[in-house]
């Protein structure tokens, strides 16, 4: 890591090769991202905090399904929640996950539209 960067810049760079633990953790994240409803939930949360009702409307899934997916994501440490009055508000736990989700869907947009990839 460079020493001239800011804290935000430094958090984006991890130069050491991944070990078995990092590879297993990353693989677990990709497994969770492989479900379209969970990916849609994470994409929504990458753009704003939301409660179950808003996530249900955004994803078009049942409230029960969204709640079950949120439980898996919470257990995996990908989302966290807080109480606001009578609502539970969800958000992503970190910027790495936000960038991963957004970039995966940006890549998918290129695949679907045929737009050439960025260099």
Give the pLDDT band (50/70/90) at residue 6.
Answer: very low
Architecture (CATH level 2) of domain 19-113: Orthogonal Bundle (1.10)
Q: What is the pLDDT of residue 117?
A: 83
Higher local confidence (pLDDT), 7 or 65: 65
Q: What is the pLDDT of residue 12?
A: 67
Tell me: the pLDDT tens digits for 38-69? 999 999 999 999 999 999 999 999 999 999 99
117 phi and psi angles, rounded to 5 deg? -70, 160
Beta bridge partners of 83: 88
Residue ranges covered by each domain of the chain: 19-113
Instruction: Report the candidate in 78, 18, 3 with the shortest Cα–Cα distance to residue 45.
Output: 78
Alpha-carbon span 116 to 65, nearest angstrom: 35
Q: What is the pLDDT of residue 5?
A: 45
Q: H or E stretch including 54?
A: helix 52-59
2 has pLDDT over 50: no
Going by C-beta distance under 8 Å and a sequence separation of 6 or more, which residues neighbour residue 106?
none
83 has pLDDT over 50: yes
C-beta separation of 87 from 16 below 8 A: no
């Amino acid at each position: 890591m460079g020493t001239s960067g800011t804290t935000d810049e430094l958090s984006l760079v991890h130069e050491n090769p991944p070990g078995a633990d990092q590879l297993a953790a990353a693989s677990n994240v990709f497994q969770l991202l492989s479900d379209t409803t969970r990916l849609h939930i994470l994409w929504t949360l990458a753009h704003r905090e939301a409660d179950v009702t808003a996530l249900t409307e955004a994803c078009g899934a049942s409230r029960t399904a969204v709640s079950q997916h949120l439980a898996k994501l919470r257990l995996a440490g990908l989302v966290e929640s807080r109480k606001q009055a009578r609502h539970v508000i969800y958000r992503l736990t970190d910027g790495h996950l936000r960038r991963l989700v957004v970039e995966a869907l940006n890549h998918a947009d290129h695949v679907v539209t045929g737009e050439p990839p960025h260099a």
